[in-house]
Amino acid sequence: MLVLVLGLTAAGAYFARDWYGAAEEETGGPAGETLPLAEQPGSPTVELSPDATAHPLGESVRQLLQTYFDAINGRNFDRWQTTVTADRVAATSEQQWLNDYDSTQDGSILVYRIESAPRNTLRVQVGFTSKQDIAQAPADLQVECINWYLALPVTKQGGQWKIAEAEPGGKQVNKPC
């Protein structure tokens, strides 16, 4: 049994390295990393890497994320609700959401990879740049401009793809612009 667990752990580490290492190997990071601070966060248009474009759901994922980021950038809670799972909607009041995203502007959005996962779900590896008031930045990174790299879980709900809550302890990297 121990050999099986160790083997699965090693395989998981290998695939995690492959999953999270692909972003920098493929493109060198999101476009926002190369822009001067005055031009951050960059274009609000969601783009797909060649790898993500090749996935059969690439365009569907791109459209979902475009609506998601447009809702955040436009402070449109009702529109945001159409892009996330019912659990996320139930856990987020409009006032809390507006407080969280009051000054946020996201751009330089690039989907690196889309992978099918168990139970009719997807893992979407995305990088983007976010500018916000320092007071609304994460507690552990109090800066005006952040480059984010994360894996978004996407699941089918009511026949539509929706962005689920990221798993606690899931891979997420952020760094100052």
> How do residues 96-119 score in pLDDT, each as one tens digit?
999 989 999 999 999 999 999 888
State the pLDDT at residue 113.
97
State the pLDDT at residue 169.
66
Rounded distance, CA 144 to CA 133, Å? 6
> How do residues 24-66 score in pLDDT, each as one tens digit?
444 445 555 678 888 999 999 999 999 999 999 999 999 999 9
Q: Which two tokens stand for residue 131?
A: 């500018």
Q: Which two tokens stand for residue 132?
A: 């916000």
pTM of the model: 0.81
Q: Which domains does the chain have, with CATH numbers?
A: 2-176 (3.10.450.100)
75: helix, strand or coil: coil
